[in-house]
Structure 1
Amino acid sequence: MPELPAPCLLCRGERAERADGAIRCARCGWRFGDAPDPDLPPPRVDVVYYLRWRDRIKIGTTANPRQRLAAIRHEELLAFERGDRTLEHSRHIEFAELRLGGEWFAAADPLVTHASRLRGDREPWDSYLRWFATDLAAITG
């Protein structure tokens, strides 16, 4: 994959892709040459996260994943899914038979498969950055 002429102004990614007739960051999708408007508040991107700690998986939600995940002991971020408390609640119901207590669930095949399917071939943080960049582009016009 070709490199951007300079690091992405949004995520510091270096790989390029061509989409919509523009050169974009392959990591977040931000159009090369555009600058985020520092006077606008950042978009709110709610996510449901899946964290693994040993043989357990936590299903939680946040609008500030860096801060939230830094506060939770975990070994691996399995996936992000775009959604808020409503989706989180749905996932808690969907995987209720695996619940160990609170928001922690057994790392059994149905839940591991779900998180793997969400992740696909993209790193979770790259998915988050792509959602953030899309929302930021929508508010900056």
Structure 2
Amino acid sequence: MNKNLETIKSLNELLQGEYMAVESFNNFISRLDDEGIKKVFQEVQKQHRENIDKLASYIQDIGGQPNENLGMKGKMGDVKLNMDLGSSPDSEEIVKKAIEGETQGINMAEKVLRGDLDDRSRDIAGEILEKDRRSIDKLKNLNKN
């Protein structure tokens, strides 16, 4: 049972990161004027929402309770993001901040993956990690245009 609690705790950390990503993308999207960039940001946000659904369901399937609020860390991150972006950031700055946030999320997911997870939990965390890496590629391509 103790191993399961550790797994649930790790997966909930990952879930928190996904919620933080959705919130950050809400912030980014509301500041974007370029419809093309906005569309890519919405796709990335949709991917994070799908990750949340998958993680929350799995946590419940293994007998845990998904921690579905941002918590203090998430709220502080949101405040910091608003301060970093200022009142009228340009699209390039928003994309840069989004890439930074996605990179932090990947680092967190890698940390969770290095933890003591069962095979199924490791597969789910690995899938999320892979999708987040693809999201970074999408965002990086925006700054090339």
If the length of structure 2 is used for normalisation, what is the TM-score?
Answer: 0.29
Greater gyration radius: 1
Greater fraction of residues in helix: 2
